[in-house]
Structure 1
Amino acid sequence: VGRREPEYPETLAIMSGHVILECTEAGSEVDLAMSVEAVTGFVAWLEAGPPGRNVGIV
């Protein structure tokens, strides 16, 4: 549901240049760390979902 820069202590475990994607599904929250380039592919994959599927784009 959002995108942000890593914060301490996340910066200790996440590679430089990566961002955090904040996602929710059926009330569950999960944070994903990935490169900006990978975010592009991830969002394209989400947008390619079947019709009728409710997907919030980052």
Structure 2
Amino acid sequence: MEIALGVLVVLLGLAILATWYGRRWVRMRRAGGVSVALRWNPDNARAGWHLGIGRYEGEIFAWYRVWSLRNGPDRVFDRETLMIADRRDPAGTEAYAVPADATVLRCESEGHRPIEIAMGPGALTGFLSWLESAPPGRRLPRAS
């Protein structure tokens, strides 16, 4: 009887956690989020990709890790300082770790280490448009 109760408690906990993650994912997608994979420290050959949702919030691009309990963004990128240094197709097994038909962008930002962002064609178009748009009189970063 005690084992059955323990199993029931574990299953209930897993169901609550799965429901929370599902609601979080749907809420972020409905609020204008796009599927984006991110890899910090790209010069390290062993650095892995992390799946997440990217959202445009005014002058920043906020990235939320899929498997995170944090409500806020895990990484924040400022449009004014973010620049694209290189673009490439996923190589080898990377294609399985990033969104479908993704393009990988190597981005640099003043005072920060380079990162790589991988996103599909639709998300890429939106990202480049957001990055290149700027209020009149402001310096534009090189986006493509």
* Coarse TM-score class (shorter-chain normalised): 0.7 to 0.9
1:56 aligns with 2:142: yes
SS of residue paired to 2:123: helix
TM-score (norm 1): 0.76
One-letter amino acid of the structure 2 residue matched with residue 14 of structure 1: V
Mean Cα deviation higher: 47-56 or 1-10: 47-56
1:18 aligns with 2:95: no
- Is contact 2:106–2:115 with CA below 8 Å preserved after alignment? yes
SS of residue paired to 2:114: strand
Residues 5-45 of structure 1: per-residue CA shift (max 9 Å, x gap): 01134223123311101111115211001001211111110
Aligned-partner Cα distance in 1 for 2:93–2:139: 35
In the alignment, structure 2 segments of 5+ residues that lack a partner are 1-84
Aligned-residue identity in percent:
33
Aligned-partner Cα distance in 2 for 1:43–1:12: 23
TM-score (norm 2): 0.36
Equivalent positions of 1:2-41 (< 5 A) are 2-27=86-111, 28-41=113-126
In the alignment, structure 1 segments of 5+ residues that lack a partner are none
Between the two structures, name the one with larger relative contact order (CA 8 Å, sep ≥ 6).
1
1:45 aligns with 2:141: no
Alignment size in residue pairs = 58
Mean Cα deviation higher: 27-36 or 47-56: 47-56
